[in-house]
Amino acid sequence: MGNLMSRIAAAGLLLAAAPLILVLALGVRISMGSPVLFRQRRAGLNGSSFVMLKLRSMRDSRADDGSLLPDELRVTAIGMFLRRSRLDELPGLWNIVRGELAFVGPRPLLPETIEQLGARGVERGIVRPGLTGWSQVNGNTLLSLDRKIELDLWYVENRNIWLDLQILMRTFAVMIFGERETRPALKPKGTSDRT
């Protein structure tokens, strides 16, 4: 799907999802207070950066020394639901409308993480990052960073409309049934399954 068509589709979905987003935002506000949205600068297409939007899923609870407590101690019940169902990603539709995200692509990482990846980070950034991606439907939080990068680079080399549709369908399955690690065979582009 072209960038313009993606932006138009995202605008329509954002309007349709607005009542649900408002209900979820109210739940976040009641359980965690303000702000309702989590904003974080992420690396975008060709090394550009943008502010990614999500519904907040964790409190800002801190230890006596001022450092943030571990994630598992800060995530709330509604936050766990939002993460498992991927509904915390709904505000990311606005990032698609703005042309910063695609529906499908490597998930945007922190700029410093991309810098640490060196050439792999540069290669990964030649496509627009996505709201969902190949590593997200093959394990996501269950995977190491190296495995995610391996899957992302395979996607960059092999992306096509049919793969994107497969990723979108599998994303809905993850939303319903939760994450599980899979081990797809990462064949180079053009490799046949026939022996």
Asked if the structure places residue 186 within a domain, the reply is no
Is 21 within the bounds of a domain? yes
Per DSSP, the chain holds a count of helices (H) and strands (E) of 8, 4
Is 82 part of any domain? Answer: yes
d(CA 83, CA 131) in angstroms, rounded, equals 13
Is 88 among the domain residues?
yes
Number of domains into which the chain is organized: 1
Rounded Cα gap, residues 14 and 123, in angstroms: 30
- The whole domain housing 26 covers 3-177
Q: Is 96 domain-assigned?
A: yes
In a domain, 193, yes or no: no
Q: What is the pTM of this model?
A: 0.87
For the beta carbon of residue 66, count every other beta carbon within 10 angstroms: 6
Of 65-69, 99-103, 112-116, 152-156, the least confident = 65-69
Q: Would you say residue 27 has pLDDT above 50?
A: yes
In a domain, 191, yes or no: no
Buried b (16+ CB within 10 A) or exposed e, 89-118: bbbbbbbbbebbbbbbbbbbbebeebeebe
- 192 in any annotated domain: no
**Per-residue pLDDT tens digits for 73-119:** 778 888 889 988 999 999 999 999 999 999 999 999 999 999 999 99
